[in-house]
Structure 1
């Protein structure tokens, strides 16, 4: 494989100019919103809708333990999905092949098998999360129960853009923009990713009627942008976790406490180490080959 050409100074300068233009545009937007937010009509709107939709009166405070460990597994599997997905899209020559023992014509690269495998683990974790979410009653935290969520979400968005951010109390209630985002990720984006991924896999039925249900072109047009949506959500989500009180937020999610301490951060740091290890492991066909051999025949290719 020939090495990639190095970027020229013109490309570097163009990239730097593009980044500077985006930063300038962002600051212009901030100043424009800050000017508008000081007007009486918008102040009245923010007073009527402070940013958090009301929850049912009997909603318990706190973050259940299952939310913490499914949150970690969701992030860990998502890192592996992105890494194996990049390999599937960019790999020109497979480093190994996996073949089904039951269906002889079914075979795929080890990178694709790894992508499918972590997809399944991610889905199982998601199903467990949703079941426990409704069984525990914690669903009211991420499923809107009032139309007030929409004006409150707009209010929260305006406050975020103005950099005068809404008051955070995620131990008791997410703001409306967070609630809508978590709902969209869990109940809209995740099913779209799962359905389109299944359609593009070797396991989708080959019958003509099945092919018409969801055309391959439509699945391809939805699958990759959905992954980009997940990536954008993660970047914004992690950024706000650190910008709005990292120790308390990480304590909520990883340590199950509302106290400000380093415990949540320590657990988070350990999970990041595991994610880095998983990212590197997903590049190794010899490592993927070991679990793949439990479910079929594996043949590593010479480089």
Structure 2
């Protein structure tokens, strides 16, 4: 019904005029940069790498009943499961990567590509969404600009979902001091848990949709843009270039290797460098 409804909408005079006025791309500042720099490609890889493992360990923590081992960090002296220790370690690395990303984002001006700067982003986002619903997907060129729906989605991920994940995770972690009684009353752990899990589900849903659209709207071109930092104002220039695909394939191998290596027998020796490890 959504497909037929969106197709019918654009077949009407009103829908055609709406599409002509709002093609799905909001107005960007004239100084907005073009292209994907190499640092952004690396940031993207590290973000995917950490996020996959964070989600995995987060699910393990939720359903883990008998931890394989425990870690007592040198600084906090509080015994936690090896899985939780690995989850918190990944969190710290993800946050550090995010801080570097934010700094580079604003220093280079690339923030203008994912932060709304004009009110026309909303009707354009609606237009882009309806165009996707028609299944007659437009040819996008992330090298030049994202459509308004992508812009709002990336803004939500970077500036809303990520901070919520951090502040809720921090509240539930051993970094939160028991001596902060007033803050604990104002921000109870139960509230943090109610925030943390939905945010994780949001990330999972976003990743699934993101991957589907990357494949469906021009796999080679999209991978070249994000993983090989190659592109052009003409979105077909790198259509037959496999460089980004092979870099992406290599990144999947690295992530799969980390997934397999993240087992107690290999994590315990690393954890011993930062605290005392005991068997359950």
TM exceeds 0.5? yes
CA contact (8 A) 1:95 1:300 kept: yes
Alignment-derived partner of residue 135 in structure 1: 107
Q: Does 1:213 align with 2:193?
A: no
CA 234–102 in structure 1, closer or farther in 2 if over 3 Å, else same = closer
Task: Provide Cα deviations, 1:173-212, integer angstroms capped at 9, x if missing partner.
Answer: 0000000000100000000000000111122121321212
Q: CA separation in 2, counterparts of 1:103 and 1:72?
A: 31
Residue equivalent to 1:111: 83
Corresponding position of 1:289: 268
Question: Could you tell me which residue of structure 1 aligns to residue 234 of structure 2?
Answer: none
Which of 222, 226, 229 is the aligned partner of 2:195? Answer: 222
- Give the counterpart of 2:34 among 53, 61, 83: 61
**1:151 corresponds to:** 123
Q: Does 1:49 align with 2:28?
A: no
Residue ranges of structure 2 left out of the alignment (5+ in a row): 232-237
Q: Number of paired residues?
A: 272
Distance 1:224 1:132 in 2: 29
TM-superposed CA distance for 1:290, in Å, is: 2.3
SS in structure 1 of the partner of residue 72 of structure 2: strand
Query: For the aligned residues, what is the CA RMSD?
Result: 1.2
Q: TM-score under structure 2 normalisation?
A: 0.94
Q: What are the residue-to-residue correspondences of 1:145-224 with 2, within 5 Å?
A: 145-206=117-178, 207-224=180-197
Contact 2:76 2:174 in 1 (8 A): no
* Residue 280 of structure 1, aligned match among 255, 260, 264: 260
Instruction: Give the deviation of 1:221 after TM superposition.
Output: 0.7
Superposed displacement of residue 285, structure 1: 1.1
CA distance in 2, matches of 1:123, 1:290: 24
- Whether the 8 Å contact between 1:285 and 1:300 is mirrored in structure 2 is no
| Structure 1: gaps (5+ residues) | 1-27
* Equivalence for 2:226: 253
Asked if structure 1 preserves the Cα contact closer than 8 Å seen for 2:70 and 2:279, the reply is yes
C-alpha deviations, 1:32-75, integer Å up to 9, x for none? 22122211111111110000012112323110111100000000
Q: In 1, Cα distance between the equivalents of 2:81 and 2:20?
A: 57
Q: 1:288 to 1:189 in 2, by over 3 A?
A: same
Which residue of the partner structure matches residue 3 of structure 2? 30
Q: In the alignment, what sits opposite 2:243?
A: 263
Matched, 1:96 2:69: yes
Answer yes or no: is the 8 Å Cα contact 1:241–1:249 preserved in 2: yes
- Which sits farther off after the overlay, 30-39 or 48-57? 30-39
- SS of 2:115's partner is coil
State the match for 1:6 in structure 2. Answer: none
The answer to whether the Cα contact below 8 Å between 2:139 and 2:217 also exists between their aligned partners in 1 is no
Distance of 2:74 and 2:117 partners within structure 1: 49
Q: C-alpha distance in 1, partners of 2:120/2:114?
A: 14
Q: Distance in 2 between matches of 1:243 and 1:127?
A: 31
